[in-house]
Chain A
Amino acid sequence: MKTAPPETGAFFARDRIWHPPALTPGYKTSVLRSPQKALISLEGTTTELTGPVFGHNMLGPTDNDLIVNYARPGEMAIGQRILVHGRVLDERGRGVPGVLVEFWQANAGGRYRHKKETYLAAIDPNFGGVGRTITDDEGGYWFKTIQPGAYPWPNGVNDWRPAHIHFSVFGHGFAQRLITQMYFEGDPMIARCPIVRTIPDPQAIEQLIAPLDWNATVPMDMRAYKFDIVLRGRRSTLFENRKEGN
């Protein structure tokens, strides 16, 4: 970890037109789970400018290797082996070091290992589907996994999720907290998905699609996808001497 002085500048306001709105009727569960009143807007306070820090000492040696972290000794998960890597950046383009990234996904057949999941595709006895890592000094991260399959869900009569990996990311302040999903370049399922389509701007959707990264592919081992994650930027503290006006 670098020992730069902590940043205390205010975070850039979220562009709520870029993010999905709360109410997106094509995604049916949002109908009863979306607030109907406007959000109360306020530039962040000391509560949102600060956030938890997770130490490397909590990570186990295979926390970022989903191919083996649930497998029986000497065995591996079944599926296409991939490396997912990228950087956590802020809107100013700077790496965000030392932050926790968590990820979870279905197996190669689109089956999640979860008590409430009843899809008929088989569970892989060697695949759990969860991992985590902490970004390096440049904001870089990587993990090994198998490419998840598409899976059907009870929304429309015949809706299927594209292959995707869920991401949960912390920043340096709680205002940066984000959960999102990564999709795979070239997947024809993306355009049909009601959850993808909760995002109004096609350019914002593109930001969730990871390209195949031939240069990072490991010959005879695994293909690579690159997924950069951008968190809210923050103003320089030089401009932070303004008192709250009423």
Chain B
Amino acid sequence: MVQTLAYLKETPSQTAGPYVHIGCTPNFSGISGIFETDLGSGPLANEQARGERITIRGFVYDGLGSPLKDALVEIWQADADGLYNSPAETRGRADPNFFGWGRQPGDMQTGEFVFHTVKPGRTPFRPNDPRLMAPHILFWIVARGINIGLQTRMYFSDEEAANAEDPVLARIEHRQRVRTLIGAREGETVRFDIHLQGENETVFFDM
């Protein structure tokens, strides 16, 4: 008899549902008094953090172009020097005044999400591959009707040279789709809309 492989299967995903806010942003959903604040709801950087302050604003649109009003968006990014605030960061210690992770619901009336953060520095592609990626922020979207969290990235419109040599963007065969990952820089604001479906469908990753 051949030996048995003892791997477990990953727990299958299920939708976060329409009441994801009860669990992830209870104060926002009107349940106050259990948690002092909603996790990830504040700015990612405190006043001492290094780097350029930016505000990211956007909507998540469905296949008919209607903004979702019940989505939950999380972001994960490196600090201004390109270091991640994570035990798995082996290149040095990240800025202690920058957490790197944030979580925001869309506005209940409009659906707009807003993050206050700093522009990330460039990070190496892999621990064993020093090619630099362009500055980017990982976005993760869950909502009613989304069976498994959708993962994408926001790059910056003012980083054309870095974007041109980014090894992840280089993987996108249909070059006209790259624009769906570029956040539009307008002063301190970066606009980044996510289209779940259709003509302008955002590139989503399996990584």
Q: Using a CB–CB distance below 8 Å, which chain A residues touch chain B? A: 6-8, 10, 13-16, 18-22, 24, 27-37, 39-54, 58, 60, 63, 69-70, 89-93, 102-104, 112-117, 128-132, 166, 168, 172-175, 177-181, 195-196, 198-199, 203-205, 207-208, 229-233, 237, 240-244
Q: CB distance A63 to B205 under 8 Å?
A: no
- Kindly identify which residue among A43, A179, A240 contacts B13, using a CB–CB cutoff of 8 Å: A179
Contact B23 A14 (CB under 8 A): no
Min CB gap A235→B, angstroms:
12
Judging by beta carbons under 8 Å apart, are A18 and B9 in contact?
yes
B34 at the binding interface (Cβ < 8 Å): yes
In angstroms, Cα B103 to Cα A52, docked, is 12
A100 to chain B, nearest CB (A): 8
The answer to whether B145 touches A27, judged by C-beta atoms less than 8 angstroms apart, is yes
Given A7-B88, A19-B147, A40-B203, 12 more A-B residue pairs with CB atoms under 8 Å apart are A33-B197, A35-B196, A45-B168, A47-B76, A47-B78, A47-B136, A49-B126, A50-B86, A130-B35, A166-B20, A179-B20, A242-B128
Q: Mark B127-153, 1 if CB is under 8 A from A, else 0.
A: 111010100101010111111111001
Q: Which residue of B lies closest to A174 (CB)?
A: B76
Which of under 10, 10 to 19, 20 to 34, or 35 or more describes the interface residues of B? 35 or more
- Are B127 and A49 interface neighbours, CB within 8 A? yes
Contact of B145 with A166 in the complex, beta carbons under 8 Å: no
B96 within 8 A of A: no
- Inter-chain contact A33/B148, CB cutoff 8 Å: no
Q: A49-B127, A51-B76, A128-B34 are in contact. Are A33 and B207 (CB under 8 A)?
A: no
Contact for B144 among A29, A63, A208, A241, CB less than 8 A = A29
CB pair B171 A14 closer than 8 Å = no
Cβ of A203: which chain B residues have Cβ within 8 Å of it? 9
- Cβ–Cβ contact A36 & B88, under 8 A: no
In the complex where A32-B197, A42-B171, A128-B26 touch, is A172 in contact with B76 (Cβ < 8 A)? no
- For the complex, what is the distance from the CA of A14 to the CA of B50, rounded to whole Å? 35
- 0/1 string, B173-184, CB within 8 A of A gives 1: 000010000000
A168-B16, A199-B12 known; A175+B99 contact, CB < 8 A: no
